[in-house]
Amino acid sequence: MDRCQYRVGFSQIKINHKDVEKNIEKIEKITKENSFDILVFPELSTTGYYFDNRKDLKKISFQKDDEIFDTLEKLCKDGFKNIVFGFSEKDGEKIYNSSMMITFEGKRFVYRKTHLFFKEKDLFDSGDTGFFVVKLKNIKVGMMICFDWFFPESARTLALKGAQLILHPSNLVMPYCQDAMITRSIENRVFSITSNRIGREGGYNFTGKSQIVSFDGKIIHRAKSLTEEVFITDIDLEKAKNKKINEMNDLFKDRRGEYYVC
């Protein structure tokens, strides 16, 4: 993995509501059967999205070191792969809408969703990890989850910390995110992978259209809205290190941070 040419992708899937074992088996199967460096699954892809109450949700919530994820860890280590997937994380009495990255070294990193959407506020606690980057050999990547896209500061914080690729597990129901992530990629000169789910659950229709966007805002690939799809392609993450807009403007050097305060 000592290079900047990476095989990356998304897995747009239908999730089995509340059937953690079946969902994890599906993630394991896709991880095992495909060749990639980084693959992103949807938000809450182990549990589904809709719950009546915290009590029901907590029953199928886990901690990052729980053995239920051990097979995925082994697959990543044996296959020299990195995956990101959403899960419901419990920590004492708290429950977080989280995403886990399992790396090719078998390390587990967890990001807790910062911006909760709509009725998620009745189920989950607000995330407290903040936005951070993970170094994978010679590149840096960062995670954000679904509604985090609505706040430009999310992607900007990751970019300022050196992320070349934003990994974005989602359960999207509004029609705006895919286009907004084009802007997030352009304004930060980073690649982004949005992995959405399909199907209907608890009155929510999930919009699919998972996508990979280049640092210059070009859509490398966008899935359809109603079908499952695993898409993997090669990208050159070295390009995301160049923050020059033209010969006189640099995205970060031209920032006027002293004026971005309220």
Q: What is the pLDDT of residues 227-250, one digit of tens each?
A: 999 999 999 999 999 999 999 999
pLDDT at 3: 66
> How far is the C-alpha of 241 from the C-alpha of 180, rounded, in Å?
21
pLDDT at 4: 82
Would you say 43 and 13 are in contact if contact means Cβ atoms under 8 Å apart? Answer: no
Residues annotated as part of the active site: 43, 113, 146
As a whole number, mean pLDDT of residues 151-165 equals 99
> How far is the C-alpha of 21 from the C-alpha of 94, rounded, in Å?
22
Would you say 50 and 17 are in contact if contact means Cβ atoms under 8 Å apart? Answer: yes
Average pLDDT across the chain, whole number: 98
As a whole number, mean pLDDT of residues 57-71 equals 98
Q: How confident is the model at residue 25 (pLDDT cuts 50, 70, 90)?
A: very high
Of the candidates 120, 107, 116, which has an alpha carbon nearest to the alpha carbon of residue 48? 120
DSSP at 123: T
pLDDT at 113: 99
Given a cut of 60, is residue 2 above it in pLDDT? Answer: no
Given a cut of 80, is residue 261 above it in pLDDT? Answer: yes
Q: Domain 5-259 maps to which CATH number in 3.40.50.720, 3.60.110.10, 3.90.76.10, 3.40.50.300?
A: 3.60.110.10
Of the candidates 202, 127, 193, which has an alpha carbon nearest to the alpha carbon of residue 165? 193
pLDDT at 258: 97
Q: What is the pLDDT of residues 191-204, one digit of tens each?
A: 999 999 999 999 99
As a whole number, mean pLDDT of residues 88-94 equals 98
